[in-house]
């Protein structure tokens, strides 16, 4: 059961959680001020969208890189300049990767960054920044505090590398209990569904969580916000062709 | 070919276009000021998300109603109070429907609105507001300008009804050429695909536009924004298991 | 009595009103989409702040020019790139002046703008754009609708000039009744004060409205928003050294 | 020399710094999630404006209390419900004081808060929350981590009190070097001015920093942001009646 791609996981753990943890992770490690800083965010998926929204709101100037033209157009419409990393690498104060890809930030990029540029990773593994390329004799590493390394070039330039390129949000901030609750509920429901499902419903394959369960996870968390859901009348349910208890959307609905 | 649910249609025509046309439609019809106004938006799909984001940015206080717990939780995380319409109907200055449902605003709601409350519809048809219920002898209709009616209660209370409950964005604002271009390109590509497809690819059914075409539509519009897409290296494409020319996402990806 | 510099006039008429009227004026004249557009705003006073906030919220990428280092630093902290007009004039889709200065946009700038760039003025007079410089034989003027001229260069390039460089918000949008009410109340109170003032309070000079009247104007408009003011307790008033009915701030307070 | 009321101090130290430190202070002490939370901010001065803007951007629902009708109207236009503390005290998740006043949050308020409500102070001293009233025998204090106390009512209700009501931003977050630099430069320039001033310029009184020095502080910090100031031409300086090197604004200008 592919729990990672359920709506509640994707939107809440990735988008909404990262919107907060990018700020938290950067503050706890560097005490930097966000206002006026130039930032490039590599990747405009759910994580990238969260990082960009948070930093824009705090007064940073944010550039985005993307390989997918649809996500790229979303970045444009959300007010971010879509660039190639090379175009802005010399001028930015922070580089954040959230692509799920490898070697997005290469040694060549690192060589061209300005003094005291901060480099960190919010993506899914530690491959996005080519940290191995920094383990060469001419560069000096200095651990300035937990999770924060200065990598020093022969001319004195320092790059601030966070968590050695591992996930910033796991290494340098905390995960709110609310997000843990959503993710754990989703996983528990997936297990219950697999256990209870009549033989034959699931074959040897990977499945998405049934939408009704995704909706159930969400409904369990609404009281936290004192949120009041509206119920369909019989007449409305009939008009829409929906069951009053859901599911309320077709499978391909994007939220 | 279900063009309406392609990503570029959903996100660009619905979300981004409505973000602008709700403001435009309200200004052209009522010359109202948005700052400080209390607004309730019924429905938090793409259209509702666009309306809410725009009004919040202009300084309105926005409440949301929803039937779907997932969309409801999104509204919470985006900073909107999730309420039932009855809870706020007496206090709001504007009521906007974007549900796709019928009779979301009933005569009972209309009876309880305060004087000079504005009522309009951004959803998919003219059924959301029960306008027929206002065609009763005790209420007087006064056309104050094109697309704007005052419905007057016996005690003098006036409700400002826009476009007689039809679509505000089509009736009272204009559609930007950029959005027309995206939608028309999507439709044209769908026709070309249907014409060129080898026999057997499409049976008597409704299909979503192939993702690669959706991506192509987006890529055609990037130069408008002087946006520069990044290309995968061979090594990266192999790592991700993707073709360098896309499609870049699985079918259920939500953007 | 210098009513223009009272707080309620400056903040409400200039900042909050322009935040809405820049969008309204541009939509009614050009039907353009704001998302993804590159805009330069000349001047970051109250009017410029309003224009920048609105366009950023609608997904535009906004650059700012300033002569005053304090306002310039504010633009930085609010997330706008501070540039000289020459640096971005070739790439922007819209140029907006709000400086109160003259010849901020010169013929040289106009010559370098790209095709279909929109030029308009939100400042205090019609001097900010050097429109006279466009009245030369080699340029053709074409009135495409009320308040909208295309100025056509010999090579076919068109600049979209709004309201012939006069105030966009007065020429092409409407002033909300709320703002009119604030401004008119301020002016009326100023007249009453001048009439009632004991001889000798005002000499032959220009005065700012007494703060208590400014506060009174504001308090008269709070019920519109169902806003509930808190009253100081006797103990708190004593602690702060304030009269419970105001004035609540020293004269140089900036709001 | 009253350095605290110079523009660069007020806007940068108070507004922009608090916009970031409220988030930082709350995260480091409580690891809470901001999205969907209901917050009341007492006071809408520079500090309150910063707190409100940050929390709104992170998806919180923010209420404001004010005693000054002008600041109150600003809160309305910025999209915040203006309430008395009593109206919302039962429902909010966080209470933040930034008034400069005393006993803004009383024992009566604390008694009515819901379980696990967070209470903290961003104002100018430790008087805003009546912490002394919580030192009574029926309440139990539990130190859960540094700067975080749970105050436990007989029925088990817990209030989360941060920094024992002292300044959250000084106690629980760090001050960015950028803000320190602005404040220290302002203070140094004030000392230099006092030392260099010809006899008679300053009498036994409190003075604001001359505007030109305020502007000088700002201009020294622009290069950090690679910000490019525009210079007045001779013709423009003459038109505006300004010296090309400033000061650029009258003394009562509010920024």
Model pLDDT for residues A35-62, shown as the tens digit of each residue = 999 999 999 999 999 999 999 999 999 9
- pLDDT band for C218, please (50, 70, 90 cuts): very high
CB contact under 8 A, D240 and C100: yes
Nearest to C69 among D16, D65, D215 (CB): D215
Rounded Cα–Cα distance for residues C121 and C40 (Å)? 12
**Mutation target vs B (from C14, C27, C62; most B CBs, 10 A cutoff):** C27
> Which residues, other chains included, contact D66 with Cβ-Cβ below 8 Å and sequence gap of 6+?
C229, C230, D43, D44, D72, D75, D82
pLDDT (0 to 100) of residue D161: 98
Chain C residues touching residue A79 (CB < 8 angstroms): 35-36, 56, 58-61
Residue of A nearest to D53 (CA): A57
All domains in chain B, ordered by first residue? 7-172 (3.40.50.720), 177-240 (no CATH)
| Cis, peptide link before residue B162, omega less than 30° from 0 | no
The alpha carbon torsion through D72, D78, D84, D85 (nearest 10 deg) reads -130
Q: Name the percent of chain D lying above pLDDT 70.
A: 100
pLDDT of residue D252: 87
Q: Report how many helices (DSSP H) and strands (DSSP E) chain C contains, helices first.
A: 10, 8
Share of chain B above pLDDT 70, in %: 100
The whole-number pLDDT of residue D174 equals 82
| Tens-digit pLDDT profile for residues D141-168 | 999 999 999 999 999 999 999 999 999 9
User: How far is C159 from C183, CA to CA, in rounded Å?
Assistant: 35
Q: CB-hemisphere CA count at 13 Å for D201?
A: 12
For residue A49, the distance in angstroms to the closest alpha carbon of chain C comes to: 13
pLDDT (mean) for B18-28: 96
Residue position matching structure tokens 């300086």: D237
pLDDT of C9 above 90? no
Q: Which of A12-21, C108-117, D35-44, D80-89 has the lowest mean pLDDT?
A: A12-21
Integer Cα distance of D168 and D64 in angstroms: 18
- Give A2's pLDDT tier (boundaries 50, 70, 90): confident
For residue A71, the SS3 value is helix
Please, which residues have CB within 8 angstroms of residue C56's CB and are 6 or more apart in sequence? A56, A79, C62, C79, C80
pLDDT of residue C74: 97
Under a CB-based contact definition with an 8 Å cutoff, are residues C61 and C27 in contact?
no
D72 exposure class (CB count in 10 Å sphere: 0-12, 13-18, 19+) = buried
Chain A residues with CB under 8 Å of C76 CB are 35-36, 59
In Å, what is the CA distance from B128 to each residue of B47, B48, B233, D236? Answer: 14, 14, 50, 56
In this structure, are residues B103 and B79 in contact, taking their beta carbons and an 8 Å threshold? Answer: no
Nearest Cα residue to B97 out of B47, B159, B152: B47
Smallest CA-to-CA distance from B6 within B200, B182, B175, B181 is with B182
Give the pLDDT confidence of D186-241 residue by residue, as tens digits.
999 999 989 999 988 898 888 888 999 999 999 999 999 999 999 999 999 999 99
**Is D176 in Cβ contact with A33 (below 8 Å)?**
yes
Best D39, D77, D79, D91 member to test B by mutation, with max B CBs in 10 Å, is D79
Q: Is the distance from CB of A62 to CB of A56 less than 8 angstroms? A: yes
Alpha carbon distance, N-terminus to C-terminus of chain B: 21
Tokens 């699985």 sit at which residue?
A: B250
For chain D, the farthest-separated pair of C-alpha atoms sits apart, in whole angstroms, at 74
User: pLDDT band at residue B252, thresholds of 50, 70 and 90?
Assistant: confident
Q: Name the burial class of residue D84, with classes exposed (0-12), middle (13-18) and buried (19+) by CB atoms within 10 angstroms of its CB.
A: middle
Bridge partners of residue B62, in order along the sequence: B39
Under an 8 A CB cutoff, do A57 and D57 touch? yes
Comparing CB atoms, the residue among A35, A79, A81 nearest residue C77 is: A35
Look over chain D and give the mean of its residue pLDDT values, rounded to a whole number.
95
Average pLDDT, chain A: 95
Alpha-carbon span D224 to C11, nearest angstrom: 29
The predicted pLDDT at position B10 comes to 87
- Write the CB contacts of C3 (distance below 8 Å, at least 6 apart in sequence): C9, C183, C186, C187, C190, C209
Name residue D117's beta-bridge partners. D159
Q: State how far the Cα of C51 lies from the Cα of C8, in Å rounded to an integer.
A: 18
DSSP chain B: -BGGGSHIIIIIIIIIHHHHHHHHHHHHHH----TT-EEEEE--SHHHHHHHHHHHHTT-EEEEE-SSHHHHHHHHHTT-EE--HHHHTTT-SEEEE-SS-SSSB-HHHHHHSPTTEEEEE-SSSS-SB-GGGG-STTSEEEEEETTEEEEE-TTS-EEEEEGGGSBHHHHSS---HHHHHHHHHHHHHHHHHHHHSPTTSS-SS--BPPHHHHHHHHHHHGGGGT--PPPPPHHHHHHHT--TTS--S-TT---
Show residues of chain C in contact with A59, CB under 8 Å: 76-79
Find tokens 């009053």 and name the residue.
A244
CA atoms within 13 Å, Cβ hemisphere of A50: 26
pLDDT at residue B5 in the model: 87
H or E segment to which residue D152 belongs: strand D148-152
Are C56 and A79 spatial neighbours (Cβ–Cβ below 8 Å)? Answer: yes
Is the pLDDT at A174 greater than 90, yes or no?
no
The answer to whether the CB atoms of D20 and A38 lie below 8 A apart is no
Nearest-CB residue to D174 (from A17, A31, A178): A31
Asked if D34 and D59 count as a contact pair (C-beta separation under 8 A), the reply is yes
pLDDT band at A231 (very low <50, low <70, confident <90, very high): very high
Q: Residue D45: its pLDDT value, please?
A: 97
pLDDT of the residue at C65: 98
Measure Cα distances from B79 to A164, B3, B82, D38 in Å: 34, 31, 9, 9
- Given the DSSP bridges, would you call strands D38-42 and B94-97 parallel, antiparallel or unpaired? unpaired
Q: pLDDT value at position B64?
A: 98
Both tokens of C136, joined, read: 């030369």
d(C-alpha A158, C-alpha A160), whole Å: 6
DSSP-assigned states of every residue in D139-150: SEEEEEETTEEE
Is A129 in contact with A162 (CB distance < 8 Å)? no
Task: Work out whether strand A148-152 and strand A158-162 pair parallel, antiparallel, or are unpaired.
Answer: antiparallel
Q: HSE-up of A201 (CA within 13 Å, CB side)?
A: 12
| B170 has a pLDDT exceeding 90 | no
What is the interface pTM, i.e. ipTM, of the complex? 0.95
């Amino acid at each position: 059961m592919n729990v990672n791609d359920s709506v509640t996981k994707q939107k809440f753990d990735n988008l909404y959680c990262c919107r907060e943890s990018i700020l938290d992770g950067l503050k706890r490690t560097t005490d930097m001020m966000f206002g006026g800083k130039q930032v490039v965010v590599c990747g405009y998926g759910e994580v990238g969208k969260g990082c960009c929204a948070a930093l824009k709101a705090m007064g940073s100037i944010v550039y985005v890189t993307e390989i997918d033209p649809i996500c790229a157009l979303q970045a444009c419409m959300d007010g971010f300049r879509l660039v190639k990393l090379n175009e802005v690498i010399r001028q930015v104060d922070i580089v954040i990767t959230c692509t799920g890809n490898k070697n997005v930030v290469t040694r060549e990029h690192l060589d061209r960054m300005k003094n005291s540029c901060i480099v960190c990773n919010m993506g899914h593994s530690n491959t996005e920044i080519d940290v191995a390329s920094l383990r060469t004799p001419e560069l000096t590493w200095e651990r300035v505090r937990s999770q924060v390394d200065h990598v020093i070039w022969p001319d004195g330039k320092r790059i601030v590398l966070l968590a050695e390129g591992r996930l910033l949000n796991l290494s340098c901030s905390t995960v709110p209990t609310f997000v843990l609750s959503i993710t754990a509920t989703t996983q528990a429901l997936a297990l219950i569904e697999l256990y209870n499902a009549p033989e034959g419903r699931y074959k040897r394959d990977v499945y998405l969580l049934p939408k009704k369960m995704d909706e159930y996870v969400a409904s369990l968390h609404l009281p936290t916000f004192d949120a009041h859901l509206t119920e369909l009348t019989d007449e409305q349910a009939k008009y829409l062709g929906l069951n009053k208890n859901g599911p309320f959307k077709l499978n391909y609905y994007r939220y």
